[in-house]
Each structure stands twice: as C-alpha cells, then as structure tokens.
Homo-oligomer: A and B are copies of this chain.
Amino acid sequence: MDFKVIEIKKSVFENNDREADKLREELKENKTFLLNLMSSPGSGKTTTLKAVLSRLKEEYKIGVMEADIDSDVDAKTISDTGVQAIQLHTGGMCHLDAGMTKQGLDSIDANDFDFIVLENVGNLVCPAEFDTGSSKNAMILSVPEGDDKPLKYPLMFTISDVVLINKIDTKSVFEFDDDAVVERIKRLNPKADIFFISARTGEGVDAFCDWLKKEIDEWNA
C-alpha cells in the first residue's frame, strides 16, 4: 500500500490548549476517535501498533499518522499491513501540537475513519507538554528502559490515560520491578490504566484492545 509524506509546518496558533479543545470537539462530532501514542525512541510504538491493527482492522476503519523527524520507516511498516498510513515529517521539531495534528488529520481525510492513531515523535519530554487534541493519550514504557522512569519523566506519566509496559518477554535479562513501577505510576496518576504486554509475542495485547474498543465505542456513540 502507498502512503503520503506530509511536511508539517510550525503552528501559528498562540493558544494551543484552545486549538486542542476545538479539534477534540470536531473529532467527537465526526465520530472519530484519536489516540495519541507516545514513548521513548525504541520502546515499540510501531510494533505495538501493528499488533493492535491486526486485531481491530476488520472492526473499525483505521488510519495511522506516523510522526518522525525525518525517515519514512514507520509509515512503510504500517501501510504494509494494509492499513492507511501517512508519514508526518516534523522537520526537527520534538513534538506535535494541536495545529500540527490538524494538518495531519486534514491530509488523511479524518472524517473517513472511526479510529486514528497519531504515533508521536519518540521523546518522553516535549510531547507531554502539548495537547494534540486527541481523545485519549497512551504511552509505552518498555522493560529495558527501567522501572525508575516515572520518577524521571513525571509529566508524561501524569497526562497519559493508559500506560503500556512493553517487552515483558525480555524480563529474564533485565531487573524490572512490576510492583514498583505500578506504584510509581499510580502515585502520579491514580486513574491511569496499566497493561503489561509484549507486542512481539502478543501477550496482553487482547486486554489492551478491549480497553481500546470500549473507549472507541463510547467516543463514537
């Protein structure tokens, strides 16, 4: 499957929060659920997404917006699964805001979809500071990164509605304390839903997809 590449321009809006709320209202009216997916580089955003798409693509009309500073690697991976993808190039910018997200949504014809995923730039700092206008925020922390990350990047864990702990199939070679990480996340964000998954083996992915289906169906009702 082919995919478009969009060069995103810097936003001109002064008040990002206002633009984000406006975008969220439009998405709600059009019955399009937008998930903002964030993580460090290499935590497995694209692999997780592939595992989710294979489970949900018969049920929903799904589109994917892959944000990256430069390459087209991820949009190619996703469009190879048969799901419509576009690549957003941020031109060195370390995050997406609502205006930039809107540029992507206009390019993919957002109204055609029930469910759109925005794969944000790999970064635990800046994306946490900018509301993209998404319906929900999801983040991935992978086991190799360590269970201390909520202490060091607190805002990202605070603003995420759901936290996926990925690469649990590699636990034998890392020291990672499940209870400690849950306790640290819950201290920052008591309402966060937490799923332990392996995008590679599929373990735990069904439970996360059940969460997603519930959220999508509520949003699009």
Question: Interface on A for B, CB 8 Å cutoff?
Answer: 40-42, 68-71, 73, 92, 94, 121-126, 129, 142, 144-146, 148-149, 151-155, 167, 169-170, 172-174
Contacts and interface: CB of A to CB of B under 8 A. Distances in A.
A132 to B, nearest CB: 17
Tell me how many chains of this kind the complex includes: 2
A121 to B, nearest CB: 7
B40 A122 contact: yes
Contacts of A152: 41, 68-71, 73, 122
A142 B42 CA distance: 9
14 contacts: A40-B40, A40-B42, A42-B144, A68-B152, A73-B148, A73-B151, A94-B123, A94-B126, A123-B124, A126-B126, A142-B144, A170-B170, A170-B174, A172-B173
Nearest to A175: B200
Given A123-B125, A124-B123, A170-B144, A151 B40 contact: no
Contact of A69 (B145, B148, B153, B173): B153
